């Protein structure tokens, strides 16, 4: 199971919610430049890189995804911020570009998975922005990342 951007968030949330379903056996998940913790977005982090995404742009993206009513209960809901149920995730492959404003969240999720003994692999592509997989004609790294995903899955 896998997804990119909002799909990465949905993949993690769905995988965590299905862990106790005996009819579902998710072997591994592919999380591509997703948001895994809306409750901490915008907070300072050692992993945050300077990106082209302004605070206004991030607010627009979060608002588009979650709507205008975003109190702490919504932001920390595991269906919205799956990092809060990361102990229920299957092995994960986490992929992100180093110019993506969401890279800090990917690194934080990987760190949390490691601390819980959940197998995961991280792949960070130098100087790649959010959504770089969609621009194969411009970035050779897009094809490299896609080829890597095909081998993994």
Domain assignments of the chain as residue spans, ordered by start: 2-152
Alpha carbons 124 and 128: distance in angstroms, whole number: 9
Percent of the chain with pLDDT over 70: 90
Alpha carbon dihedral 129, 106, 9, 57, in 10-degree steps, equals -40
- Architecture of domain 2-152 in CATH? 3-Layer(aba) Sandwich (3.40)
| Contact of 95 with 121, CB cutoff 8 Å | no
Arithmetic mean of pLDDT over the chain = 88
Give the predicted TM-score (pTM) of the model. 0.86
pLDDT classification of 40: cutoffs 50, 70, 90: confident
For range 44-66, the mean pLDDT: 63
pLDDT band at 49, cuts 50/70/90? very low
Tell me how far apart the alpha carbons of residues 43 and 25 are, in angstroms, rounded to a whole number.
35
């Amino acid at each position: 199971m896998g997804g990119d951007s909002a799909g990465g968030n949905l993949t993690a949330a769905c995988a965590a919610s299905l862990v106790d379903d005996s009819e579902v056996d998710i072997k591994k998940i592919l999380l591509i430049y997703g948001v895994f913790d809306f409750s901490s977005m915008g907070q300072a982090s050692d992993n945050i890189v300077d990106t082209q995404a302004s605070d206004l742009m991030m607010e627009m993206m979060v608002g588009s995804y979650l709507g205008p009513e975003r109190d702490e209960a919504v932001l920390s809901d595991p269906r919205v911020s799956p990092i809060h149920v990361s102990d229920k995730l299957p092995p994960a492959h986490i992929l992100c570009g180093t110019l993506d404003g969401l890279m800090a969240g990917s690194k934080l999720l990987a760190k949390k998975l490691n601390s819980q003994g959940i197998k995961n692999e991280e792949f960070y592509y130098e100087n790649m922005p959010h959504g770089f997989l969609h621009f194969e004609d411009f970035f050779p790294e897009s094809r490299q990342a896609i080829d890597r995903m095909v081998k993994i899955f």
